[in-house]
Protein backbone atom coordinates (compact mmCIF):
# COMPACT_ATOMS: atom_id res chain seq x y z
CA UNK A 1 0.00 0.00 0.00
CA UNK A 2 1.33 3.44 -0.91
CA UNK A 3 1.91 5.84 1.94
CA UNK A 4 2.48 9.53 2.64
CA UNK A 5 5.91 10.48 4.01
CA UNK A 6 7.13 13.69 5.58
CA UNK A 7 10.88 14.20 5.32
CA UNK A 8 12.53 16.83 7.49
CA UNK A 9 15.72 18.11 5.85
CA UNK A 10 16.71 18.33 2.18
CA UNK A 11 20.38 17.35 2.67
CA UNK A 12 21.90 14.03 1.57
CA UNK A 13 19.96 11.99 4.11
CA UNK A 14 16.54 13.49 3.37
CA UNK A 15 16.93 13.80 -0.39
CA UNK A 16 18.21 10.27 -1.00
CA UNK A 17 15.44 8.73 1.11
CA UNK A 18 12.85 10.93 -0.59
CA UNK A 19 13.96 9.67 -3.99
CA UNK A 20 13.99 6.03 -2.95
CA UNK A 21 10.50 6.27 -1.49
CA UNK A 22 9.13 8.16 -4.49
CA UNK A 23 10.69 5.68 -6.93
CA UNK A 24 8.88 2.94 -5.00
CA UNK A 25 5.52 4.70 -5.53
CA UNK A 26 5.08 6.62 -2.28
CA UNK A 27 4.22 10.33 -1.94
CA UNK A 28 6.83 12.46 -0.25
CA UNK A 29 6.79 15.96 1.17
CA UNK A 30 10.30 17.27 1.91
CA UNK A 31 10.60 20.34 4.13
CA UNK A 32 13.71 22.30 5.07
CA UNK A 33 13.92 25.34 7.29
CA UNK A 34 16.62 26.81 5.06
CA UNK A 35 15.73 28.62 1.83
CA UNK A 36 17.56 26.01 -0.27
CA UNK A 37 18.01 22.27 -0.83
CA UNK A 38 21.28 20.26 -0.46
CA UNK A 39 21.83 20.85 3.29
CA UNK A 40 25.45 21.58 4.12
CA UNK A 41 26.56 20.47 0.66
CA UNK A 42 24.76 23.48 -0.89
CA UNK A 43 26.77 25.38 -3.50
CA UNK A 44 25.96 28.45 -5.57
CA UNK A 45 27.59 31.06 -7.77
CA UNK A 46 28.68 34.02 -5.66
CA UNK A 47 28.12 37.64 -6.69
CA UNK A 48 31.21 37.39 -8.94
CA UNK A 49 30.13 34.21 -10.70
CA UNK A 50 32.45 31.80 -8.90
CA UNK A 51 30.89 28.49 -7.77
CA UNK A 52 31.38 28.34 -3.99
CA UNK A 53 30.28 26.01 -1.19
CA UNK A 54 28.32 28.15 1.26
CA UNK A 55 28.98 25.85 4.22
CA UNK A 56 32.66 25.13 3.66
CA UNK A 57 34.54 22.85 1.26
CA UNK A 58 32.84 19.61 0.30
CA UNK A 59 35.00 17.06 -1.48
CA UNK A 60 33.33 13.84 -2.53
CA UNK A 61 35.27 10.62 -1.99
CA UNK A 62 34.17 7.04 -1.44
CA UNK A 63 35.18 3.42 -1.70
CA UNK A 64 31.53 2.47 -2.08
CA UNK A 65 30.92 1.29 -5.64
CA UNK A 66 27.18 1.20 -4.98
CA UNK A 67 27.14 4.70 -3.53
CA UNK A 68 29.09 6.18 -6.42
CA UNK A 69 26.86 4.37 -8.92
CA UNK A 70 23.76 5.63 -7.14
CA UNK A 71 24.78 9.29 -7.24
CA UNK A 72 25.95 8.88 -10.84
CA UNK A 73 22.28 8.57 -11.79
CA UNK A 74 21.95 12.25 -10.92
CA UNK A 75 25.21 13.86 -11.97
CA UNK A 76 28.23 13.64 -14.19
CA UNK A 77 31.55 14.02 -12.42
CA UNK A 78 34.78 15.96 -12.60
CA UNK A 79 37.71 13.87 -11.35
CA UNK A 80 39.37 15.74 -8.50
CA UNK A 81 41.97 14.65 -5.96
CA UNK A 82 42.16 17.02 -3.01
CA UNK A 83 45.54 18.20 -1.73
CA UNK A 84 46.28 20.13 1.44
CA UNK A 85 49.31 22.01 2.74
CA UNK A 86 49.79 22.86 6.40
CA UNK A 87 51.61 26.02 7.45
CA UNK A 88 54.22 25.07 10.04
CA UNK A 89 57.13 27.33 10.90
CA UNK A 90 56.07 29.65 8.08
CA UNK A 91 56.36 26.93 5.43
CA UNK A 92 53.61 25.16 3.47
CA UNK A 93 54.23 21.44 4.06
CA UNK A 94 52.39 18.43 2.63
CA UNK A 95 49.57 17.23 4.89
CA UNK A 96 48.72 14.43 5.84
CA UNK A 97 52.28 13.96 7.04
CA UNK A 98 54.28 11.96 4.49
CA UNK A 99 57.95 11.42 3.72
CA UNK A 100 58.26 14.78 1.95
CA UNK A 101 56.83 16.48 5.04
CA UNK A 102 59.59 14.94 7.18
CA UNK A 103 62.32 15.75 4.68
CA UNK A 104 61.22 19.37 4.23
CA UNK A 105 60.53 20.01 7.91
CA UNK A 106 63.73 18.52 9.28
CA UNK A 107 66.04 19.01 6.26
CA UNK A 108 66.45 15.25 5.74
CA UNK A 109 66.65 12.98 2.75
CA UNK A 110 64.82 9.89 3.97
CA UNK A 111 63.77 7.07 1.68
CA UNK A 112 60.71 4.97 2.49
CA UNK A 113 62.33 2.50 4.97
CA UNK A 114 64.14 5.41 6.64
CA UNK A 115 60.86 7.31 6.99
CA UNK A 116 59.29 4.24 8.61
CA UNK A 117 62.27 4.02 10.97
CA UNK A 118 61.90 7.74 11.74
CA UNK A 119 58.28 7.27 12.85
CA UNK A 120 59.27 4.18 14.81
CA UNK A 121 61.84 6.21 16.77
CA UNK A 122 59.60 9.25 17.20
CA UNK A 123 56.38 7.54 18.24
CA UNK A 124 55.19 7.23 21.82
CA UNK A 125 53.50 3.83 21.91
CA UNK A 126 50.03 3.91 23.48
CA UNK A 127 48.05 0.83 24.33
CA UNK A 128 45.12 1.03 24.34
CA UNK A 129 44.53 3.90 21.93
CA UNK A 130 41.53 5.75 23.34
CA UNK A 131 41.81 9.41 22.47
CA UNK A 132 42.88 11.50 19.49
CA UNK A 133 46.02 12.39 21.45
CA UNK A 134 46.81 8.67 21.74
CA UNK A 135 46.34 8.17 18.01
CA UNK A 136 48.79 10.88 16.97
CA UNK A 137 51.44 10.28 19.66
CA UNK A 138 51.27 6.57 18.94
CA UNK A 139 51.96 7.06 15.25
CA UNK A 140 54.22 10.15 14.86
CA UNK A 141 55.33 11.24 18.34
CA UNK A 142 55.28 14.52 20.22
CA UNK A 143 57.06 16.98 17.93
CA UNK A 144 54.83 16.35 14.91
CA UNK A 145 51.82 16.18 17.24
CA UNK A 146 52.58 19.63 18.61
CA UNK A 147 53.38 21.15 15.23
CA UNK A 148 50.46 19.79 13.16
CA UNK A 149 47.69 18.50 15.44
CA UNK A 150 47.55 19.98 18.91
CA UNK A 151 46.60 23.57 18.15
CA UNK A 152 44.47 22.78 15.12
CA UNK A 153 42.41 20.40 17.24
CA UNK A 154 42.12 22.90 20.09
CA UNK A 155 40.88 25.49 17.62
CA UNK A 156 38.53 23.19 15.72
CA UNK A 157 36.86 21.61 18.76
CA UNK A 158 37.62 23.90 21.71
CA UNK A 159 38.93 20.73 23.41
CA UNK A 160 42.23 18.99 24.04
CA UNK A 161 42.96 16.03 21.72
CA UNK A 162 42.96 13.87 24.87
CA UNK A 163 39.25 14.72 25.31
CA UNK A 164 38.25 13.56 21.82
CA UNK A 165 37.69 9.99 20.73
CA UNK A 166 40.36 8.31 18.63
CA UNK A 167 38.22 8.41 15.49
CA UNK A 168 38.66 12.17 15.03
CA UNK A 169 42.42 12.20 14.49
CA UNK A 170 42.28 8.72 12.94
CA UNK A 171 40.64 10.37 9.93
CA UNK A 172 44.13 11.59 9.01
CA UNK A 173 46.60 8.94 7.77
CA UNK A 174 50.38 8.99 8.17
CA UNK A 175 52.46 7.98 5.16
CA UNK A 176 56.00 6.82 4.54
CA UNK A 177 55.60 7.36 0.78
CA UNK A 178 55.24 10.71 -0.99
CA UNK A 179 51.52 10.49 -1.78
CA UNK A 180 50.22 13.96 -0.93
CA UNK A 181 46.53 13.38 -1.65
CA UNK A 182 44.18 14.08 1.25
CA UNK A 183 42.12 10.98 0.41
CA UNK A 184 43.05 7.65 -1.17
CA UNK A 185 39.52 6.42 -1.91
CA UNK A 186 38.77 4.64 -5.19
CA UNK A 187 36.31 7.33 -6.29
CA UNK A 188 37.30 10.97 -5.86
CA UNK A 189 35.28 13.43 -7.89
CA UNK A 190 33.12 16.54 -7.75
CA UNK A 191 29.62 16.78 -9.25
CA UNK A 192 30.35 18.34 -12.65
CA UNK A 193 27.75 21.10 -12.31
CA UNK A 194 27.89 21.31 -8.52
CA UNK A 195 26.07 19.74 -5.60
CA UNK A 196 22.92 21.82 -5.81
CA UNK A 197 22.33 20.74 -9.41
CA UNK A 198 22.80 17.11 -8.35
CA UNK A 199 20.24 17.56 -5.55
CA UNK A 200 17.79 19.16 -7.99
CA UNK A 201 18.03 15.99 -10.08
CA UNK A 202 17.60 13.72 -7.02
CA UNK A 203 14.46 15.60 -5.95
CA UNK A 204 13.06 15.95 -9.48
CA UNK A 205 10.26 13.41 -9.26
CA UNK A 206 6.50 13.77 -9.72
CA UNK A 207 5.79 12.25 -6.30
CA UNK A 208 8.21 14.57 -4.43
CA UNK A 209 7.13 18.01 -3.24
CA UNK A 210 9.73 20.30 -1.67
CA UNK A 211 8.80 23.17 0.64
CA UNK A 212 11.63 25.44 1.75
CA UNK A 213 11.72 27.87 4.65
CA UNK A 214 9.51 25.52 6.68
CA UNK A 215 10.56 24.59 10.20
CA UNK A 216 9.39 21.19 11.42
CA UNK A 217 8.60 22.67 14.83
CA UNK A 218 6.00 24.96 13.25
CA UNK A 219 4.24 22.20 11.32
CA UNK A 220 4.85 18.99 13.22
CA UNK A 221 1.28 18.75 14.50
CA UNK A 222 -0.32 20.00 11.31
CA UNK A 223 1.00 17.87 8.46
CA UNK A 224 -0.88 14.60 7.90
CA UNK A 225 1.48 11.69 7.24
CA UNK A 226 1.93 7.97 7.78
CA UNK A 227 5.63 8.22 8.59
CA UNK A 228 8.27 10.91 9.26
CA UNK A 229 11.94 10.80 8.33
CA UNK A 230 13.83 13.28 10.51
CA UNK A 231 17.37 14.38 9.59
CA UNK A 232 17.84 17.37 11.93
CA UNK A 233 19.53 17.35 15.36
CA UNK A 234 18.09 14.54 17.47
CA UNK A 235 18.05 16.56 20.72
CA UNK A 236 15.95 19.28 19.07
CA UNK A 237 13.35 16.69 17.99
CA UNK A 238 12.84 15.73 21.63
CA UNK A 239 12.78 19.31 22.89
CA UNK A 240 16.23 18.94 24.53
CA UNK A 241 14.54 16.93 27.29
CA UNK A 242 17.83 15.42 28.49
CA UNK A 243 19.81 18.61 27.87
CA UNK A 244 21.64 19.84 24.78
CA UNK A 245 23.91 17.59 22.76
CA UNK A 246 27.05 19.55 21.88
CA UNK A 247 27.48 20.24 18.17
CA UNK A 248 30.47 22.23 16.94
CA UNK A 249 29.69 25.19 14.72
CA UNK A 250 31.69 27.30 12.29
CA UNK A 251 31.45 30.74 10.86
CA UNK A 252 32.45 31.03 7.22
CA UNK A 253 34.21 34.11 5.92
CA UNK A 254 33.85 34.16 2.15
CA UNK A 255 36.01 36.49 0.09
CA UNK A 256 36.37 37.20 -3.62
CA UNK A 257 39.74 38.35 -4.93
CA UNK A 258 39.24 40.11 -8.26
CA UNK A 259 42.04 39.67 -10.79
CA UNK A 260 43.76 36.94 -8.72
CA UNK A 261 43.76 33.75 -10.76
CA UNK A 262 45.38 31.54 -8.10
CA UNK A 263 45.47 32.42 -4.41
CA UNK A 264 47.18 29.28 -3.08
CA UNK A 265 48.97 26.18 -4.32
CA UNK A 266 46.42 23.60 -3.18
CA UNK A 267 42.64 23.44 -2.70
CA UNK A 268 43.01 23.85 1.05
CA UNK A 269 45.76 25.27 3.26
CA UNK A 270 45.60 24.49 7.00
CA UNK A 271 46.78 26.92 9.68
CA UNK A 272 47.30 24.81 12.81
CA UNK A 273 49.26 27.40 14.79
CA UNK A 274 48.33 30.82 13.39
CA UNK A 275 45.08 32.80 13.12
CA UNK A 276 41.63 32.15 14.55
CA UNK A 277 40.60 30.21 11.45
CA UNK A 278 41.61 26.61 10.82
CA UNK A 279 41.91 26.59 7.04
CA UNK A 280 41.46 28.47 3.80
CA UNK A 281 39.93 26.80 0.76
CA UNK A 282 40.10 28.15 -2.78
CA UNK A 283 37.11 26.81 -4.68
CA UNK A 284 38.49 26.94 -8.23
CA UNK A 285 40.86 24.07 -7.38
CA UNK A 286 37.85 21.92 -6.45
CA UNK A 287 35.56 22.87 -9.30
CA UNK A 288 38.04 23.46 -12.12
CA UNK A 289 36.22 26.67 -12.96
CA UNK A 290 38.09 29.17 -15.12
CA UNK A 291 37.63 32.77 -13.96
CA UNK A 292 39.79 35.90 -13.91
CA UNK A 293 39.31 36.20 -10.15
CA UNK A 294 39.10 33.66 -7.34
CA UNK A 295 36.91 33.00 -4.28
CA UNK A 296 38.11 31.62 -0.95
CA UNK A 297 36.58 30.73 2.40
CA UNK A 298 38.08 30.85 5.89
CA UNK A 299 36.56 28.61 8.59
CA UNK A 300 36.31 29.95 12.15
CA UNK A 301 35.23 27.29 14.65
CA UNK A 302 32.74 28.31 17.35
CA UNK A 303 30.56 26.72 20.01
CA UNK A 304 27.33 28.54 19.19
CA UNK A 305 25.46 28.67 15.90
CA UNK A 306 24.21 26.18 13.31
CA UNK A 307 25.15 22.64 14.31
CA UNK A 308 27.75 21.25 11.86
CA UNK A 309 29.78 18.61 13.68
CA UNK A 310 28.77 16.12 16.37
CA UNK A 311 31.52 16.23 19.01
CA UNK A 312 32.90 12.69 19.42
CA UNK A 313 33.44 12.33 23.19
CA UNK A 314 32.41 9.54 25.55
CA UNK A 315 30.07 11.71 27.57
CA UNK A 316 28.33 13.08 24.45
CA UNK A 317 27.83 9.61 23.10
CA UNK A 318 26.28 8.56 26.42
CA UNK A 319 23.83 11.48 26.15
CA UNK A 320 23.12 10.60 22.51
CA UNK A 321 22.30 7.01 23.58
CA UNK A 322 19.57 8.37 25.85
CA UNK A 323 18.03 10.25 22.93
CA UNK A 324 18.48 7.20 20.73
CA UNK A 325 16.43 5.24 23.25
CA UNK A 326 13.56 7.67 22.77
CA UNK A 327 14.06 7.54 18.99
CA UNK A 328 13.72 3.76 18.95
CA UNK A 329 10.41 4.00 20.78
CA UNK A 330 9.07 6.45 18.17
CA UNK A 331 7.50 3.90 15.83
CA UNK A 332 6.43 6.22 13.04
CA UNK A 333 9.66 8.20 12.79
CA UNK A 334 13.02 7.27 11.23
CA UNK A 335 16.13 9.21 12.31
CA UNK A 336 18.91 9.39 9.71
CA UNK A 337 21.93 11.59 9.00
CA UNK A 338 24.89 13.29 10.62
CA UNK A 339 22.82 15.33 13.10
CA UNK A 340 20.08 12.78 13.77
CA UNK A 341 22.50 9.88 14.31
CA UNK A 342 25.12 12.10 15.98
CA UNK A 343 27.90 10.56 13.86
CA UNK A 344 30.86 12.25 12.22
CA UNK A 345 29.67 11.04 8.81
CA UNK A 346 31.13 12.02 5.46
CA UNK A 347 28.71 12.55 2.59
CA UNK A 348 29.10 9.04 1.18
CA UNK A 349 28.41 7.53 4.59
CA UNK A 350 25.20 9.54 4.83
CA UNK A 351 24.15 8.28 1.39
CA UNK A 352 24.87 4.73 2.59
CA UNK A 353 22.86 5.26 5.79
CA UNK A 354 19.99 6.80 3.80
CA UNK A 355 19.85 3.93 1.29
CA UNK A 356 19.85 1.42 4.16
CA UNK A 357 17.07 3.32 5.98
CA UNK A 358 14.99 3.53 2.79
CA UNK A 359 15.39 -0.20 2.27
CA UNK A 360 14.15 -0.88 5.81
CA UNK A 361 11.14 1.35 5.20
CA UNK A 362 10.35 -0.38 1.92
CA UNK A 363 10.85 -4.00 3.04
Q: Which residues bind to ligand FAD, rule: CB under 6 A? A: 8-14, 31-34, 39-41, 55-59, 215-217, 231-232, 250, 308, 337-339, 345-348, 350
| Cα–Cα dist 338/350, whole Å | 7
| Cα–Cα dist 326/311, whole Å | 20
- Residues 6 or more apart from 136 whose CB is under 8 A from it? 144, 145, 149, 161, 169
34 binds, among ligand UDP, ligand FAD, none (CB under 5 to 8 A by kind): ligand FAD
| Cα–Cα dist 50/136, whole Å | 37
Position with the least CB separation from ligand FAD: 39
Greatest Cα pair distance, the chain, in angstroms, is 69
Q: Which of 22, 37, 71, 172 binds ligand UDP (CB under 6 A)?
A: 172
Contact 93, 147 (CB under 8 A): no
Q: Which listed range, 97-105, 113-121, 147-155, 314-322, lies at the site for ligand UDP (CB under 6 A)? A: 147-155
Which is closer to ligand UDP, CB of 141 or CB of 272?
Answer: 272
277 binds ligand UDP (CB under 6 A): no
294 binds ligand UDP (CB under 6 A): no
Kindly report whether the peptide bond that precedes residue 138 is cis, defined as omega within 30 degrees of 0.
no
Q: Which listed range, 61-69, 152-160, 234-242, 324-332, lies at the site for ligand UDP (CB under 6 A)? A: 152-160
**Nearest distance, CB of residue 262 and ligand UDP, angstroms:** 21
Q: Could you tell me how many residues of this chain bind ligand UDP (CB under 6 A)?
A: 13
Q: Which listed range, 144-152, 193-201, 204-212, 320-328, lies at the site for ligand UDP (CB under 6 A)? A: 144-152
Which of 123-128's residues contact partners 24+ apart within 8 Å by CB, and which partners? none
Q: Name the residue among 191, 188, 187 with its Cα closest to residue 51.
A: 191
> Do strands 227-230 and 333-335 pair parallel, antiparallel, or not at all (unpaired)?
parallel
32 binds, among ligand FAD, ligand UDP, none (CB under 5 to 8 A by kind): ligand FAD
Which is closer to ligand UDP, CB of 191 or CB of 272?
Answer: 272
Which is closer to ligand UDP, CB of 203 or CB of 297?
Answer: 297
168 binds, among ligand FAD, ligand UDP, none (CB under 5 to 8 A by kind): ligand UDP
Alpha helices in the chain (DSSP H): 12-23, 65-72, 99-106, 112-122, 132-140, 142-144, 151-157, 166-169, 195-203, 216-219, 234-237, 283-287, 314-329, 347-362
275 binds ligand UDP (CB under 6 A): no
In terms of phi and psi (left: phi > 0; alpha: psi -120 to 50; beta: otherwise), the region of 258 is beta
Q: Which of 8, 21, 168, 357 binds ligand UDP (CB under 6 A)?
A: 168
List, in sequence order, every residue forming a beta bridge with 333; answer none if it has no partner.
228
Q: Which listed range, 47-55, 166-174, 199-207, 230-238, lies at the site for ligand UDP (CB under 6 A)? A: 166-174
Contact 144, 97 (CB under 8 A): yes
Q: Name the residue among 1, 129, 67, 92 with its Cα closest to residue 279.
A: 92
**Nearest distance, CB of residue 183 and ligand FAD, angstroms:** 9
281 binds ligand UDP (CB under 6 A): no
Residues of this chain that interact with ligand UDP (CB under 6 A) are: 86, 95, 148-149, 152-153, 156, 168-169, 171-172, 270, 272
Amino acid sequence: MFREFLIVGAGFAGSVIARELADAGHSVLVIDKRPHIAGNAYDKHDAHGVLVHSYGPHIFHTNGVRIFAYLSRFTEWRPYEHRVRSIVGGRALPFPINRDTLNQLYGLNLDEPAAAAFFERAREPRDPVHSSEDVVLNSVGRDLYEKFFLNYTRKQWGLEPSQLKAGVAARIPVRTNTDDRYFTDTFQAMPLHGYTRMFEAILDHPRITVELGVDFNDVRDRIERDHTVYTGPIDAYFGYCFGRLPYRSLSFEHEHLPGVERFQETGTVNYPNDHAYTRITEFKHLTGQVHSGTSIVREYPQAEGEPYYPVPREENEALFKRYEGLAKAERDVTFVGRLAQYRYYNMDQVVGAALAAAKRLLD
